[in-house]
Amino acid sequence: MTADPGTPWWRSAVIYQVYIRSFADGNGDGLGDIAGIRSRLPYLAGLGVDALWINPWYPSPMADAGYDVSDYRNVEARFGTLEDAEALLAEAHTAGLRVLLDIVPNHSSDQHAWFREALAAGPGSEARRRYLFRPGRGAGGALPPNDWQSVFGGPAWTRVSEPDGRPGEWYLHLFAPEQPDLDWTHPEVRADFDSTLRFWFDRGVDGFRIDVAHSLVKEEGLPDLDGRSPVPSPRPNGSAVPPHPHWDRDEVHEIYRAWRRLADSYADPRVFVAEAWVDTPERLARYVRPDELHTAFNFDFVRAPWKAAALRATIDVTMSEHAAVGAPPTWVLSNHDVAREVSRFGREQIDEPAFDADDLRDRPFDRALGTKRARAAALLMLALPGGAYVYQGEELGLPEVEDLPDEALQDPTWIRSEHTRRGRDGCRVPVPWSGTSPPFGFSPEGTAAAPWLPQPGNWAGLTVEAEDGDPRSMLTLYRTALRLRRELPALGDGTLRWLDAPDGALAFARDPGFACVVNVSAEPVVLPEGSRPLLASGPLTADGAVGPDTAAWLATSAG
Ligand code: GLC
């Protein structure tokens, strides 16, 4: 049963991810902006979410879509001004929506004043100590200092030309070369991020999503990977996770304890959500211990194939590991880094996690099936205990755009992988709002600039305008589910109780008086005795059973 009204809002919040570049373009330059978000606040409030998480809106050269920040305490001119940001915060609060921003502490932009100063100051300088500069290996230091790899492909090191023009030191970048890693052992780095948190908290920001929260601390001496995976590698819960030189190191938690104290120092305490891709659910739960972060994205749910056993196992282990530390789980189906769920679920489901668009591309896609399953998955997600994230466009049933022309691709993955991986642009295509052809209301009427990524010409049926009021649309399903979620005391924070269900189906109860049945099999599943449907992701069968790839919310007399 839902905890008492004193339960903090974030324990059961549904948070809508606004990928600002692609949400709504207010000024007609083809790029989303703050004016666009402001104009769509009524839509967001009407959808029934509790809060927004806005991807980075700070000044940035956009080498990685804003995750290369050149000034943490300002707003990118292409997105608006600080005044616009303050107005948005005020208006969102008036509309009953809290606002989380996205903080990027692992790396800055190479255009940040600190990095420019470091380049100019030369080897051995104080300024270089805020980053991870090292001499190269081999003759003349011509080789990178170690064997670490960039997540986007290629070595994680770039060599600089020193002020005298000669080839010099190397600096670490776990992501693109334009994203130099900061050295978190440096007290100024810590102090500056504290100032950034306060700067935004003082302006009314309700919390932060922490970008790559698991990477801030590196092993002293920066030892080679020596065969360890360059990317986090999921493994069975409970298995020993050998220490990694730069992912998920134990020392990182001390930073978050300090951040928690800072957030708690506000009268209306502020919250954090960790983006931490770690190896096991137990490792993830460490980030949400009572004196650390409030919540963490549950990427195991994103990774889970549409298979009953896999879904149930993920739910069970998530629930138990979070319960052990007293934190609410979160449920996530997609975000700006993974393939949209319509496109994941519209493929044959294999046991290997396939959340990366590049791993799906060559497999046959059935959009109707993917949409059907995505509808059922939405009801599953919103019925589970804890909080949930909705990535913009998910509520419209947008598929991944898999045929973007090569010349349109902007994800640094494309270039860094030497054109072998196309990257994440397919889930970042601007939202279709209205009309029958691009830009589908994304930019104001009569705008000459095209959206920064081209929208498919056949999205007319997927616009907000087209789906609005259509009882069969994904938008109507989300709106109805979110409304019921607010009304039903059983939903949100709390626990669940599994009910008996045939193979291939999930059924659970939540008190008082609620049950959810998710049919992941080919056979219809009859409703539990004494229950009646409140909402279903698709029509029930003629006998009133839940058909294949369908979910239903039920009122039960029990509990
Ligand atoms: C996170 C972001 C991703 C970004 C990366 C580097 O994973 O979600 O979009 O590219 O961090 O900042």
pLDDT of amino acid 351: 85
Query: 483 C-alpha vs ligand 1 centroid, how far in Å?
Result: 32
Instruction: Extract the runs of DSSP E, i.e. beta strands, from 443-513.
Output: 497-498, 505-510
Q: Which helix (H) or strand (E) holds 475?
A: helix 474-487
Closest C-alpha to 502, from 482, 524, 484: 524
Ligand 1 — pocket residues by CB below 6 A?
Answer: 64, 67, 104, 175, 211-212, 275, 336-337
Query: 98 C-alpha vs ligand 1 centroid, how far in Å?
Result: 23
Look up residue 407 and give its DSSP letter.
Answer: G
**Exposure on the CB side of residue 342, measured as CA atoms within 13 A:** 21
Token look-up 């998955």 returns 377
pLDDT 10s digits, 30-40? 999 999 999 99
Which atom in ligand 1 lies closest to the alpha carbon of residue 107? 12
User: Which pTM was predicted?
Assistant: 0.98
Ligand 1: which of 53, 64, 70, 151 to mutate, most ligand atoms within 8 Å of CB? 64
Report the side by side order of strands in the sheet with 157-161: 133-134, 167-172, 157-161
135, 173, 177, 184, 499 from 117: Cα distances, Å: 18, 17, 17, 18, 61
pLDDT of amino acid 2: 43
For the record, the structure tokens of 219 come out as 């092993």
Which atom in ligand 1 lies closest to the alpha carbon of residue 175? 6
pLDDT of amino acid 558: 58
Ligand 1: which of 106, 337, 427 to mutate, most ligand atoms within 8 Å of CB? 337
Cβ atoms of 160 and 205 within 8 Å: the answer is no
Give the closest residue (by CA) to ligand 1 atom 4. Answer: 67
Strand 387-391 and strand 330-332: the pairing is parallel
Strand 271-274 and strand 295-296: the pairing is parallel
Query: 211 C-alpha vs ligand 1 centroid, how far in Å?
Result: 6
pLDDT of amino acid 233: 87
| DSSP per-residue letters across 87-144 | HHHHHHHHTT-EEEEEE--SB--TTSHHHHHHHHH-TT-TGGGGBTEEPPBSGGG-B-
Catalytic residue set: 211, 275
pLDDT of amino acid 1: 37
Query: 204 C-alpha vs ligand 1 centroid, how far in Å?
Result: 25
Cα R_g (the chain), whole angstroms:
23
Q: Which helix (H) or strand (E) holds 41?
A: helix 41-47
pLDDT of amino acid 354: 75
Which atom in ligand 1 lies closest to the alpha carbon of residue 176? 6
Which atom in ligand 1 lies closest to the alpha carbon of residue 277? 7
Give the residues of the chain that fall short of pLDDT 50: 1-3, 559
Cβ atoms of 473 and 464 within 8 Å: the answer is no
Question: What does the angle CA 313 – CA 317 – CA 320 come to, to the nearest 5 degrees?
Answer: 140
Closest C-alpha to 473, from 394, 534, 363, 531: 394
Ligand 1: which of 62, 67, 356 to mutate, most ligand atoms within 8 Å of CB? 67
Token look-up 């519209």 returns 346
pLDDT of amino acid 389: 98
Cβ atoms of 490 and 514 within 8 Å: the answer is yes
pLDDT of amino acid 4: 54
**Identity of the residue numbered 237:** N
Q: How far apart, in whole angstroms, are the C-alpha atoms of residue 112 and residue 301?
A: 35
Query: 215 C-alpha vs ligand 1 centroid, how far in Å?
Result: 11
Q: Please enumerate in sequence order all residues whose Cβ is within 8 A of that of 225, keeping only pairs 6 or more positions apart, or say none.
A: 146, 147, 148, 149, 245
